[in-house]
Amino acid sequence: MGKSVSIPKGTRDFLPFEMNRRNYIFNTIREVFETYGYVAIETPAMENLSTLLGKYGEEGDKLLFKILNSGDFMAKADPNETNLNKWITVLCEKGLRYDLTVPFARFVVQHREEITLPFKRYQMQAVWRADKPQKGRYREFFQCDVDVIGSKSMLNEVELIQIEDDVFSRFGIHVAIKLNNRKILSGIAQYIDAEDKIVDITVAIDKLDKIGLENVKNELITKGLSSEAIAKLQPVFDLSGSNEEKLSSLKNMLAFSETAMQGIKEMEEIFTHLSYLTLNNPVELDLTLARGLNYYTGAIIEVKAREHAYGSLSGGGRYDNLTGIFGIPDMSGVGISFGADRIYDVLNETNAFPEMLHSNLQALFVNFGAAETQYLLPILRELRAAGLKVMLYPDAVKIGKQFTYANNLHIPYVVVAGEEEIKNHKLQVKNMQSGEQQMLDSTELLALLKHKQ
Amino acid sequence: MGKSVSIPKGTRDFLPFEMNRRNYIFNTIREVFETYGYVAIETPAMENLSTLLGKYGEEGDKLLFKILNSGDFMAKADPNETNLNKWITVLCEKGLRYDLTVPFARFVVQHREEITLPFKRYQMQAVWRADKPQKGRYREFFQCDVDVIGSKSMLNEVELIQIEDDVFSRFGIHVAIKLNNRKILSGIAQYIDAEDKIVDITVAIDKLDKIGLENVKNELITKGLSSEAIAKLQPVFDLSGSNEEKLSSLKNMLAFSETAMQGIKEMEEIFTHLSYLTLNNPVELDLTLARGLNYYTGAIIEVKAREHAYGSLSGGGRYDNLTGIFGIPDMSGVGISFGADRIYDVLNETNAFPEMLHSNLQALFVNFGAAETQYLLPILRELRAAGLKVMLYPDAVKIGKQFTYANNLHIPYVVVAGEEEIKNHKLQVKNMQSGEQQMLDSTELLALLKHKQ
């Protein structure tokens, strides 16, 4: 009995210990966002399908979860219809949020009279995708996005790089912050007369470390690049040295392209600002970043763990036309997104979650019955008023069972008050880790627990 | 252009100022829950329809939002089918959470080997209902539930009453905490030989204040009660005095009913425990509470504002068979739920939100250009490391525009550093409310902002 209950595949329940860890991640990220003045917004789980469809490509449309219309959803249906997309149009008007970017664009357009530009917002909410579930990939997962729109200044990129640095410093994860620029990539593609192949080129270069130069060249040939074009790419493969040296080589190579020179100028401005700061993690120019090439128009940012092969932990970039799809052109923005699930895995596998996340309670008070309860209830109230987390076991069961409960829940102190303690206005306080026992009055107990908080 | 974007009816976007207020509500409630040792869980937005259907009555089944199966959702469909419920079975396997109670019951059954009883959990998540939207009623809204399961002790009821008292004290809302007990109501219904009419009786008595005794009696006649039965109810209408006096009258009247006497004993136990505590709000026995009569088996709790006619702000009760629907019988629990939207309205209409929720930023630093930026970036970093919320305006636009930005966002301080200030390692700090200006170094500014935090 009761064994058959389950939840939809690709979704998760979160137990208390997981909630503690997840809240630690969300709260840490939120605290950093807020020190830079970013403010929270939330959008509904359901959006109109007209808002979502066509924004994520054909594959994305398929992965949207659609909501059956309520009421007589078959009223307008033609039973002989064989086209699934037409069925969807008839059956469904709403879908679940697929990411936080499109709802944000819709939000900005809808509330443009209520927000002040530059608008610095963050959003931490679930998104849903009907992807095939697999290890580390869920149908309900959580995004933490931070964006500023309505300002073209490179100081915004600098701020987001600082946020990456702050967040991963607080987590104790050593990362490399990688920077690229769409405009420089465009210049390179122009330079070898293959502007339409910009994505193929970047993806291929990205594999240089893994598969070697010859294989990269072979891949480029497969993609239709001429050997002449590939030969012209040699300086890109040879790019080395400091960020400044790389930019200087690129300047020579791409001087002909106004777009590329603009991208190089943006990159230089970012590195100049960064030179005034001492970050904990390195920031590196990396031409192989292909992330979001379809929509980023300027800076591209990606963060990887330095010591582990976890893939990307965070990333983003600048987009010059966030709200164009909803009829408001020229709204430039730049933003990054943190993968809460990936960060969870890194902290979990490296045992890097703080110790204090183990327990939610500071002390358990043993229940002996009515007289003891009368003595303890006002004391508990006093401790809670001071913000302490304490509970009285609700049933006067065997003391062994109550101690087991404290052990199971990792509660650090157990408090016992019997006849003798009540007479003397005292409490017997046991440290569950050391086994040490102390006789304290309620004020002393309050001080002890406050100190340990 | 851009004007046609919208969100599904009955759903809401939350702007930053609303998020601040909502987070204040959720955080306050959460803080209280945690001082009693309740721990958070979360469940997915989507549940299997088999988990949800049949749990909320026929009307509830209709109000469930159903998710269209992904892939070829028409594969198993019979185009000639005319029954909507059969169509749903074929088209949909999943639905959106309708409340937090059924998912909690499913969670307890599914994770029964992973949790320790008594299990004290809270859950704050959105729920979705395809109700007709109207003022104050949304299709996506937020519930804050707190329950303890696996203990029959009345100390749990006492704890939840304390939580009601704490939460509304922190909000500064004066409330009355009303208590009833399903077992006493059953006894009354037995007493007049109308056990099947328990809900009608309670609902009618509930109107005593509003429509008067005669109209209540007329309503009971309409519901099929005999005038003999109604005459026997007179002592219930006459019930008055303190909680103790009311219980004592009931004891005389209902002595014949074991069930009623059990309910009275439970009530007495609760009031005895409460007598050891000094709460801020009154706790009153109220036989007219009809809340959740379909599933509550013992205590029924409801909280109303004393000074405003806002209806119920919170409530709940004891249920003896939470997980029975999923095959695990005899799991007794008791819980209450807070209506975040209703509390928002009360705080809003009584101007009772704390002042500090107005701004997310403590200081705006004016941007004059490259040299000033170089001077300010490290100072901003130092302030943020101390947890302060500060920003540099990203663009070197006219100073007037930057001050307007500070005004719009209610930022209390604006900091200006020109050539002179940089030379002297100083900052000009303007208090935007008083207009007062001070020349400070970064350490003094840090102290000033910390002090105001």
Q: What is the pLDDT of residues A71-110, one digit of tens each?
A: 888 888 887 888 888 888 889 999 999 999 999 999 999 9
In this prediction, residue B295 carries a pLDDT of: 82
Percent of chain A predicted with pLDDT > 70: 99
CA of B413 vs chain A CAs: smallest distance (Å): 13
Low-confidence winner among A231-240, A336-345, A443-452, B243-252 (lowest mean pLDDT): A231-240
Given this model, what pLDDT does residue A330 score? 87
Q: Which residues of B171-199 are buried (b: 16+ CB within 10 A; e: fewer)?
A: bebebebbbbbbbbbbbbbbbbebeebbe
Q: Which strand (E) or helix (H) includes residue A103? A: helix A101-110
Could you tell me the two tokens for A108? 């900005």
Provide the shortest C-alpha distance from residue A269 to chain B (in Å): 10
Report whether pLDDT(A1) > 50: no
Q: What is the CATH number of the domain that holds A389?
A: 3.40.50.800
Compute the average pLDDT of residues A235-256. Answer: 92
Q: Are residues A246 and A284 in the same domain?
A: yes
> Are residues A81 and A178 located together in one domain of the fold?
yes
Long-range pairs, B255-259, Cβ under 8 A, ≥24: B256/B190, B256/B191, B257/B186, B257/B187, B257/B190, B257/B191, B259/B183, B259/B186, B259/B187, B259/B190
Question: Percentage of residues in chain B with pLDDT exceeding 90?
Answer: 76
Confidence of residue B423 (pLDDT cuts 50, 70, 90): very high
Query: Could you give the count of Cα atoms lying within 13 Å of A425 in the half-sphere of its Cβ?
Result: 5
pLDDT-based confidence at residue A321 (cuts at 50, 70, 90): confident
Average pLDDT value for residue range B101-118: 95
Contacts of B391 in chain A (CB under 8 A): 36-37, 120
Kindly determine whether residue A110 and residue B11, on different chains, have CB atoms separated by under 8 Å: no
* Minimum CA–CA partner of A87 in chain B: B74
List, for residues A32-41, the tens digit of each pLDDT value. Answer: 999 999 999 9
Q: At what angle do helices A340-349 and A16-35 cross, to 10 degrees?
A: 120
Among A29, A368, A146, A165, smallest CA distance to B153 is for A368
Which of A46, A374, A405 is the closest to B11 by Cβ? A46
**Residue A205: per-residue pLDDT:** 80
Q: What is the spatial distance between Cα B357 and Cα B388, in angstroms, rounded to a whole number? A: 15
Torsion of CA A278, A283, A285, A289, to 10 degrees: -160
The confidence score (pLDDT) of residue B201 equals 86
Q: What's the one-letter identity of residue B233? A: L
Mean pLDDT of B362-386: 97
Quick check: B404 and B392 in contact, CB under 8 A? no
Residues of B in contact with A169 (CB under 8 A): none
CATH number at residue B24: 3.30.930.10
Optimal mutation site among A33, A39, A388, interface B, most CBs of chain B within 10 A:
A39
Minimum-distance CB partner of A155 among B84, B156, B373: B373
B312 and B448, same domain (yes or no): no
Task: Tell me: do A392 and A435 sit in the same domain.
Answer: yes
| Closest of B169, B145, B151 to residue B38, by C-alpha | B145
Are A269 and A316 members of one domain? yes
Mean pLDDT, chain B, rounded, equals 93
CA nearest to A274, candidates A181, A170, A164: A164
Is B221 found in the same domain as B366?
A: no
- Set of chain A residues whose Cβ sits within 8 Å of the Cβ of B87: 73-74
Residue A148 lies in a domain: yes
CB neighbours of B18 closer than 8 A, spacing ≥ 6? Answer: none
Q: Are residues B38 and B152 in the same domain?
A: yes
Candidates B67, B162, B279, partner chain A, best to mutate (most A CBs within 10 A): B67
Residues A309 and A440 in one domain: no
Share of chain B above pLDDT 70, in %: 99
- Domain contains A52: yes
As a whole number, mean pLDDT of residues A182-209 equals 87
Report how far apart, in Å, the C-alpha atoms of B447 and of each of A20, A353, B426, B444 are: 32, 31, 14, 5
Q: Look at A13 and B65 and tell me if their CB atoms are within 8 Å.
A: no
A2 has a pLDDT exceeding 50: no
Distance of CA B17 to the CA centre of its chain: 19
Which segments within B396-450 are labelled E, that is strand?
Answer: 413-416, 427-431, 437-440
Q: B385 to chain A: nearest residue by CA? A: A35
Query: Looking at the partner chain, which of B12, B44, B65 has a beta carbon nearest the beta carbon of A140?
Result: B44
Mean pLDDT of A350-377: 92
Residue B2: what pLDDT?
A: 45
Residue A100 is assigned to a structural domain of this protein: yes
Kindly state the tokens that stand for B139. 């299709």
Instruction: Find the DSSP H helices in A173-306.
Output: 182-191, 198-206, 208-222, 227-232, 234-238, 243-253, 258-274
Asked whether residue B152 is domain-assigned, the answer is yes
Contact predicate A142/A340, CB 8 Å: yes
Q: What is the pLDDT of residues A105-161, one digit of tens each?
A: 999 999 999 999 999 999 999 999 999 998 888 999 999 999 999 999 999 999 999
Please give the C-alpha separations between residue A350 and each of A164, A165, A346, A354, A451, in angstroms, as whole numbers.
19, 19, 6, 11, 29
Is the CB of B43 less than 8 angstroms away from the CB of A395?
no
Q: Do A389 and B19 touch (CB under 8 A)?
A: no
Task: Tell me the two tokens of residue A447.
Answer: 């001080």
Quick one: B336 and B364 in the same domain? Answer: no
The residue among A324, A349, A374 that closes a domain is: A349
- Report helix, strand or coil for B348: helix
Contacts of A387 in chain B (CB under 8 A): 31, 35
| Residue B216 main-chain phi, psi, to 5 deg | -60, -45
Nearest partner of B382 among A162, A177, A153, A301, judged by Cα? A162
Mean pLDDT of B112-116: 95
Instruction: State how many domains chain B has.
Output: 2
Interface probe with B: pick from A13, A21, A90, most Cβ of B within 10 Å: A13
Which residue type occupies B163? I
Nearest to A273 by CA among A171, A156, A182: A156
B195 band by pLDDT with thresholds 50, 70 and 90: confident
What confidence category does residue B294 fall into, taking pLDDT thresholds of 50, 70 and 90? Answer: confident
pLDDT of residue B375: 97
Write down the pLDDT at residue B71: 85
- Lowest model confidence (mean pLDDT) among A27-31, A349-353, B385-389: A349-353
* Residue B226 located in a structural domain: yes
Q: How far is CA A89 from the centre of its chain?
A: 32
The confidence score (pLDDT) of residue A14 equals: 97
Asked whether the predicted pLDDT for residue A237 surpasses 70, the reply is yes
Extended strands (E) in B273-329: 283-285, 299-305, 312-319
**What would the pLDDT profile of B168-194 be if each residue is shown by its tens digit?**
999 999 999 999 999 999 999 999 898
B138: nearest CA in chain A? Answer: A44
Considering CB atoms only, which of B23, B65, B111 is closest to A15? B111
In terms of domains, do B393 and B262 share one?
A: no
Q: What pLDDT shows up at residue B1?
A: 44
- A22 assigned to some structural domain: yes
Nearest by CB to A326, which of B5, B36, B120? B5
Number of H helices and number of E strands within chain B?
18, 16
Q: Tokens 């005459």 belong to which residue?
A: B231
The domain boundary residue, chosen from A317, A349, A381:
A349
**Structure tokens, B337:** 């739920």
Is residue B1 included in any domain, yes or no?
Answer: no
Structure tokens given for B216? 């209540």
- Report the gap between the CA of A323 and the closest CA in chain B (Å): 9
* Within-domain flag for A183: yes
Residues facing residue A440 across a β-bridge: A427
Min Cα separation B246/chain A (Å): 23
* A contacts of B357 (beta carbons < 8 Å): none
Question: What does DSSP assign to residue A355?
Answer: G
> Quick one: how far is CA B108 from the chain centroid?
21
Which residues are within 8 A (CB) of A295 and not within 5 positions of it... i.e. 6 or more apart? Answer: A319
Residue A204 has pLDDT above 90, yes or no: no
Confidence of residue A295 (pLDDT cuts 50, 70, 90): confident
Mean predicted lDDT score pLDDT of chain A: 93
A-B CB pairs within 8 A amount to 289
Confidence at B247, pLDDT banded by 50, 70, 90: very high
Query: Given A308, A329, A349, which residue is the final one in a domain?
Result: A349
Q: Which helix (H) or strand (E) holds A127?
A: strand A119-128
Query: How does pLDDT run across B11-68, given as a tens digit for each residue?
Result: 999 999 999 999 999 999 999 999 999 999 999 999 999 999 998 888 899 999 999 9
Mean pLDDT value across residues B193-214: 85
A325 shares its domain with A363: no
The nearest alpha carbon in chain A to B21 belongs to: A40
Other residues' Cβ atoms within 10 Å of the Cβ of residue B211: 13
Contacts of A83 in chain B (CB under 8 A): none
Question: pLDDT at position A42, please?
Answer: 98
Instruction: Compute the distance between CA of residue A445 and CA of residue B94 in angstroms, rounded to an integer.
Output: 50
Could B389 and A34 be called an inter-chain contact, meaning their C-beta atoms sit closer than 8 Å? yes
For residue A428, give the 3-state DSSP assignment. Answer: strand
Chain B residues inside the 8 Å CB shell of A34: 360, 389
Residue B338, domain extent = 16-349
- Are A373 and A272 in the same domain? no
SS (H, E, C) B51-63: HHCCCCHHHHHHH
Q: Residues A303, A164: contact at Cβ < 8 Å?
A: yes
